[in-house]
Amino acid sequence: MKKIVIEQLEQRGITVDDIALIVFDLQKSYYPGLEKEVCLEAIDAVLEKREVQYAVLTGLALDVLAEQDLLPEPISTIIKMDESLYGIDEILALAITNIYGTIGITSFGYLDKMKIGLIGRLDSSLGYVNTFADDIVAAIASAAAAKIAHNQKGNGKYHH
């Protein structure tokens, strides 16, 4: 199932490497010596979780269906326009961030506001519907960053 999730992310222009850059950016000032490999391992662990897989698949499917005008109105237009009061995209993303506690939620809020890296590119891409995709990327990055924080011990070493 994780392989299918990664393939569907890649079909939307989302790579694990791009998500790792966001995780690294979130954690680099807290953990000197942080390596990209640690970020990739954390993302891999997040993507192993079935509830994450279901949230990703659901969100991406809704973006694709909206893009293809296959959802009924008015929901199709609401998703395509990424209406600010819709909020279901954030709620779906919070299902991912909740896995590692409140640190994931606060990181998600920051990323949702700041639109760092791939998140900003997805949010502003013309011709594509990424209403759920940008929040899914922010949620995966936030959960992975939270996993790193939870695994970090006071001695500056990472424990996997």
Please check whether residue 39 lies inside any domain of the structure.
Answer: yes
Question: Tell me, what's the pLDDT at 153?
Answer: 58
Q: Where are the alpha helices (DSSP H) in the chain?
A: 2-11, 16-27, 36-48, 50-67, 75-81, 88-97, 102-114, 118-123, 133-151
Mean pLDDT by runs of 10 across the 160 residues of the chain is 97 97 94 94 98 98 97 97 94 94 93 94 92 98 95 53
Please check whether residue 160 lies inside any domain of the structure.
Answer: no
Question: Tell me, what's the pLDDT at 24?
Answer: 97
Look up the domain containing 7 and give its range. Answer: 2-151
Contact 153, 159 (CB under 8 A): yes
Residues whose CB falls within 8 Å of the CB of residue 116, separated by 6 or more in sequence, listed in order: 22, 25
Question: Tell me, what's the pLDDT at 127?
Answer: 86
Looking at residue 54, which CATH number applies to its domain?
A: 1.10.3760.10
Question: Can you give the pTM of this predicted structure?
Answer: 0.93
What is the spatial distance between Cα 107 and Cα 89, in angstroms, rounded to a whole number?
16
Please check whether residue 128 lies inside any domain of the structure.
Answer: yes
Angle at 65 between CA 138 and CA 87, to 5 degrees: 45
Total of domains in the chain: 1
Please check whether residue 34 lies inside any domain of the structure.
Answer: yes
Please check whether residue 126 lies inside any domain of the structure.
Answer: yes
Please check whether residue 143 lies inside any domain of the structure.
Answer: yes
Contact 26, 141 (CB under 8 A): yes
Q: How far is CA 9 from CA 17, 40, 122, 130, 152, in A?
A: 12, 15, 12, 11, 28
Please check whether residue 158 lies inside any domain of the structure.
Answer: no
